[in-house]
Amino acid sequence: MTGGWDYHSELTPYDQFIFYNAIGSHENYFYQPIAVATQIVNGTNYKFMCIAKPRVPGLPAFYAIVEIYKPIDGTPYAVSIYPAEEYRYKK
C-alpha cells in the first residue's frame, strides 16, 4: 500500500541486502536487523528493529531503530539510528 507502513517480522534476502549496503560499518557497534517495516513513497522508507551488539568491551547491547531510505533509482542510505527506548519520543 502506497504511503502506509507494512510490518514484517522476518527479513527477506532483499531486506538484508538493503540494510547492510546502507548501514556500512560502525566502530563501536554491529547492528543485526531482526524485523522491518516498509513504506513506499517516492522510493522506499525502511525502519529496521535491530540488536546493537558492542564491538568494544564495556559498552551495553541495546535495541535500536535504523531508518533507511532507498530512492527509486538510487543507492540506499541510512537516515538515522536511535536506541529503541528513545525512538518513541523522536519528533
- What confidence score (pLDDT) does residue 88 get? 64
Domain that holds residue 34: 5-87
The Cα 70–Cα 33 span in angstroms is 17
Side-by-side strand order, sheet with 77-83: 5-8, 29-41, 43-54, 62-70, 77-83
Q: Is the dihedral of CA 17, 30, 5, 40 positive or negative?
A: negative
Banded pLDDT at 91 (limits 50, 70, 90): low
18 CB burial (10 A radius; 0-12, 13-18, 19+): buried
What's the structural domain count of the chain? 1
Check: CB of residue 33 under 8 Å from CB of residue 12: no
Give the CATH number of the domain where residue 35 resides.
3.10.450
Euclidean distance between the first and final Cα of the chain, in Å? Answer: 24
Q: Write out pLDDT tens, residues 46-89.
A: 999 999 999 989 999 999 999 999 999 999 999 999 998 876 66
Banded pLDDT at 24 (limits 50, 70, 90): confident
Overall pTM surpassing 0.85 (yes/no):
yes
- What confidence score (pLDDT) does residue 89 get? 61
